[in-house]
Amino acid sequence: MPEYPARTGRFLTLRDIVKETSLSRATIYRMIARGEFPAGTRISPRRVTWRSETIEAWKSERYPIPQV
């Protein structure tokens, strides 16, 4: 049986992402439509989630830490 690397992150809901990024739900949906924000994964008919690693990577790409 193949061994898969363990993922350590957690799943974030849209509510979590709104709190973490200070973007509104509408802005997030617009950015997804324009390809500026990662699309989530539908895990049930009424639930979409994002991996925390994906959102962290998006934040570091969008808001890089300046080198001093």
Task: Give the model confidence (pLDDT) of 15-50 as tens digits.
Answer: 999 999 999 999 999 999 999 999 999 999 999 999
* pLDDT, position 1: 62
Q: Which residues, at least 6 apart from 55, have a Cβ–Cβ distance to it below 8 Å? A: 12, 17, 20, 21, 38
pLDDT for 57 beyond 80:
yes
Give the SS3 label for residue 33: helix
Average pLDDT on 60-64 reads 84
